[in-house]
Each structure stands twice: as C-alpha cells, then as structure tokens.
Amino acid sequence: MSKNFQIPPSFSLIEKGKVSLLLKEEYKNLLLEQGIEDINTYLKKTYQISRYLKGRAPHPVIPLGNGKNMVLRQYSHGGLLRAITGSTYFLGSRSFRELALTEEIRSFGIPTIFSIGAIHQKTFFSFYQAYFLTLEVPSAMDLIQYFQAIGTCPSREKLSQKRKTIRHIGLLIRQFHQAGFYHGDLQLKNILMSGDQILLIDFDRSYRKQNLPVQERMKNLLRLNRSVEKWKRLGLPITRTDGWRFFLAYSGDDKKILKTMAKTLRTFSLRFLFYRFGWALEKIVNSSGFRVRRNKVLS
C-alpha cells in the first residue's frame, strides 16, 4: 500500500494480513471485537440502508451500541470503468487519503460527518478494495430531500427557512474554498441538512492547496450549478432567484468574485445545452432499461 497520507491524531493504523485498517481510538476495540478486519463476513450481518448516503451501491448502517450507528461506504467506479473493474482499484490508498482529508477539513471548523475508520483490503498484486466508516447523522437529509420537503408552494415560515439555508450554504462553501479545499464532487447529494446544521460530505478525489485559485473555485461552483439544473428539470423546487441568493452569499463583498461568477455562468449557459442532451439520453436509456426488465418479469 502506498502510504501517501498522514495518520490523523487519535487514529491507529493496524495491519492484519492483506487488510489494513485506520481506526479511531475511541471505536478501535469495539470494531475489532465485531470482526471488522474480515469485511466480507462482517457485511453478512443484518443491517439497514443509509437514508441520506445514496451512491452507486447501498451503504449499510450497522449498530455500534449506545444509540450510535456506523455507515459503511464501499468505493466503486463510475461510468465505463464500473462495468470492467467494479469496486477494485489499482495502487494508492483511496479511503485513507479521504479520511485524513476529512479530519483536516474538520480541523478548520468546517462541519462534516464524523469519520471513525477506513479499510484497505488487498485483492491481488497491487489491486485493492476500500471502505470508509462514519457515524450516522441522525435525521439527516441531503439537499435534494430537503428541497423536496420544502415543496413548490411553501408557507411563509418555510420560505424564510429555505432562503436562510441557501445563504448559509453559500457562506459554508466560501469558507471551504477560502481554507484552500477543492471538492471532488460538489453536488446536492453531498450537502446534508441535520436540523439547522449544514454538513459537507464525500471528499473522495478532493484536495487542499495553500490558496485555491479562482478558476478551481468556479469549477466547483459550476459542478454544483449543474447538479441544481439537472434536478430542477426533474421538478426540484429551486428558482433562479435561489441561485443568485446563493452566489451573493458566496461572493460577499468581493466584487471581483461576483463578476467572475457572472461571466462563468454565462459561459455555462452555452455548455448547458450539451448537458441537457446528455440528461435526455440518460433518461431514454434508463426508460428503455426499465421496459426491458419489466418485459422479462411479465414474460
């Protein structure tokens, strides 16, 4: 395993044959007693599925006792690689790097989920599978679920809450960028609401620079904007005014940032035509796939 990460404080690195575990001291003994090092057997236990973490595969939720649950996320490829390699990776230490970065993000006062461990399991040669372990956030929902709950015709109280939330999201992402962090997949699913608290999650392929350039900030914001536009087309109640409310909160008194954002959004409006084509194609493929499966069931 390539050790291109720094072990965060209060975590221990444990080597057991082909399995390497990076576990938080507070939960280390409990997880080892439960047999976490034999991940394949561990996952045969009865468990629920996370309500707010929705990736390419279900994320098991496993009881830890004292009313706490652990969410276990397995890394898997997307796109064409998914069909070829599935959840197998070559070289690196993906889960360990994400855990270390998550802890660094937390040290800057940026709210995120509570990481308790990571697993690196060798399969053969330099190939491996990886897992990330976090505490479940009670009553959490992602921003898609949050805006769906607000609805298209919210009461005055809900509308005020929605505007306040959007402003706070803008301020949080600004804080994230000012600390030098770049999010590898900034989208609505990776921002959680837990009561009045907003959490950023999923820092796979994310990184930190001493000073994050404006171009990379804009790239992050365009990724988020693309996510918003995609879900708006599916009926998510987010307005153009909501978008500008977010951008104004993010830019603050920095008129240069606001001007750059406005220019970037104009450029995005042209590229958006290609995204719309892709989404339409995806919808057709998914619909066709559904009909095929349905015909097989009926036949």
pLDDT one digit per residue (tens) for the chain, 299 residues: 556 678 999 999 999 999 999 999 999 999 999 999 999 888 887 666 666 665 556 788 889 988 899 999 999 877 666 666 678 888 889 999 999 999 999 999 999 999 999 999 999 888 999 999 999 998 899 999 999 999 999 999 999 999 999 999 999 999 999 999 999 999 999 999 999 999 999 999 999 999 999 999 999 999 999 899 889 989 999 998 999 899 999 999 888 888 888 887 777 655 555 555 554 555 555 555 444 443 433 33
In whole angstroms, give the CA distance from residue 135 to residue 138.
9
263: its two tokens: 């220019």
Measured CA distances, 56 to 75, 84, 166, 201, 261 (Å): 9, 15, 27, 16, 31
For position 15, what pLDDT does the model report? 94
For position 86, what pLDDT does the model report? 75
167-182 in b/e form (b: 16+ CB < 10 A) is ebbbebbbbbbebebb
Secondary structure letter of residue 51 according to DSSP: S
* Stated pTM of the model: 0.85
Three-state DSSP class for residue 133: strand
Pairing of strands 115-122, 141-142: unpaired
DSSP 220-234: HHHHHHHHHHHHHHT
For position 269, what pLDDT does the model report? 59
Distance of alpha carbon 31 from its chain centroid, rounded?
24
Three-state DSSP class for residue 92: coil
Cβ-based neighbours of 226, under 8 Å, separated by 6 or more: 187, 268, 272, 275
Q: Look at the block and give the residue holding tokens 């997880």.
A: 31
For position 132, what pLDDT does the model report? 97
28-36 CB contacts, 8 Å cutoff, 24+ apart:
30/64, 30/65, 31/116, 31/117, 31/133, 36/117, 36/119, 36/133
